[in-house]
Amino acid sequence: MTTPLNERRIANAIRVLAMDAVQKANSGHPGAPMGMADIAEVVWRDFLSHNPTNPQWANRDRFVLSNGHGSMLQYALLHLTGYDLSIEDLKNFRQLHSKTPGHPELGYTPGVETTTGPLGQGIANAVGFALAEKTLAAQFNKDDIKVVDHYTYCFLGDGCLMEGISHEVCSLAGTLGLGKLIAYYDDNGISIDGEVEGWFSDDTQKRFEAYGWQVLRVDGHDTEAIRQATIEAKAETQKPTLVICKTIIGLGSPNKQGKEDCHGAPLGLDEITLSRTTMAWTDTDFIIAEDVYKAWDAKAKGQQAEAEWNEVFAQYQAKYPTEAAELLRRLNGDLPEEFVAKADAFIAEVNSKEETIASRKASQNTLQAFGPLLPELLGGSADLAGSNLTLWKGCEGIQTNPAGNYVYYGVREFGMTAIANGVALHGGFIPYVATFLMFMEYARNAVRMSALMKQRVIHVYTHDSIGLGEDGPTHQPIEQIASLRSTPNLNTWRPADTVEAAVSWKTALLRKDGPSALIFSRQNLPFQQRTEEQIQNVAKGGYVLAKEKGELKAIIIATGSEVSLAMEAYAQLEGVRVVSMPCAEEFMKQKAVYRESVLPAHIRARVAVEAAHVDYWWKFVGLDGKVIGMTTYGESAPAKDLFKYFGITTEAVVAAVNELTA
Nearest-angstrom CA–CA distance, 343 and 427: 23
Beta bridge partners of 182: 153, 241
State which H helix or E strand residue 460 sits in: strand 458-462
**Residues 95-111: b if buried by 16+ CB within 10 A, e if exposed:** eeebbbbbbbbbeebeb
Of 176, 285, 160, 196, the C-alpha closest to 240 is 176
The alpha carbon dihedral of 157, 161, 162, 166 has a sign of positive
DSSP letter assigned to residue 552:
-
DSSP-derived 3-state class of residue 22? helix
Cα separation, 217 vs 623, in Å, equals 64
Torsion on CA atoms 12, 17, 19, 21, rounded to nearest 10: -170
CA 291 and chain centroid, separation = 40
Nearest to 233 by CA among 161, 186, 280, 184: 184
Report how far residue 129's alpha carbon sits from residue 456's, in angstroms, rounded to the nearest whole number: 15
Please, what is the end-to-end C-alpha distance for the chain in angstroms? 86
From 113, 163, 413, 610, the catalytic residue: 413
What span, in angstroms and rounded, lies between the C-alpha atoms of 191 and 35? 13
Q: Is 347 exposed, middle or buried (0-12, 13-18, 19+ CB in 10 A)?
A: buried
- The stretches of 43-163 forming alpha helices (DSSP H) are 71-81, 87-91, 121-140, 158-162
Question: d(Cα 176, Cα 399) in Å, to the nearest integer?
Answer: 6
Residue 493 in contact with residue 462, Cβ under 8 Å?
A: no
**Residue 413 annotated as catalytic:** yes
What's the CA gap between 214 and 555, in Å, rounded? 62
Name the residues annotated as catalytic: 413
